[in-house]
């Protein structure tokens, strides 16, 4: 891997993760979910303004049971148990197919995200709906 030019692969990975992360951010940010704009990487740490759960672990269990979306409680990462912060990974898609189907600089719109990352789109929609009903 170190002997080859990996710039196209790296640029494609960055482009995909940047666009997927921004999609998640733009679609979850609301008066029910506090979230920072992604700066890189492949996960976000949103805070749900949820008053009915006593801990982030309890909330994650409820989310999994009611939406099928798996999140890790913020308490696993050193946050207070009573802060409804979660770790949300946005990598549930076939990266190889996604990468082969777009250029490393192509703008990735919602249609491409729906096609190549349908689990992300579905999961975000479920989280948004759940947060609005809490």
The pLDDT-based confidence of 134 (bands split at 50, 70, 90) is: confident
Give how far the C-alpha of residue 46 lies from the chain's centroid of Cα atoms, to the nearest Å: 9
pLDDT tens track for 20-54 = 999 999 999 999 999 999 998 999 999 999 889 99
Q: Which residues contact 51 (CB under 8 A, 6 or more apart)?
A: 134
Q: Which residues contact 76 (CB under 8 A, 6 or more apart)?
A: 57, 87
Q: 101 — phi, psi (to 5°)?
A: -95, -10
Task: Look at strands 47-48 and 33-34 and give their pairing.
Answer: antiparallel
pLDDT tens track for 59-79 = 999 999 999 999 999 999 999
Q: Are 89 and 120 in contact (CB under 8 A)?
A: no
Q: What does the block give as tokens for 95? A: 């990266």
pTM reported for the whole predicted model: 0.93
């Amino acid at each position: 891997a170190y002997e080859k030019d990996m710039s196209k692969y790296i640029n494609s990975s960055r482009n995909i993760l940047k666009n997927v992360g921004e999609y998640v951010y733009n679609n979850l940010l609301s008066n029910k979910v506090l979230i920072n704009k992604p700066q890189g990487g492949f996960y976000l740490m949103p805070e749900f303004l949820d008053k009915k759960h006593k801990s982030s672990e309890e909330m994650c269990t409820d989310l999994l049971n009611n939406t099928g979306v798996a999140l890790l409680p913020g308490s696993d990462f050193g946050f207070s148990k009573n802060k409804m912060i979660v770790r949300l990974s946005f990598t549930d898609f076939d990266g190889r197919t996604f990468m082969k189907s777009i250029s490393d600089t192509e703008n990735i719109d919602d249609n491409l995200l729906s096609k190549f990352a349908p689990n992300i789109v579905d999961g975000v929609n479920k989280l948004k709906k759940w947060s609005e009903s809490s």
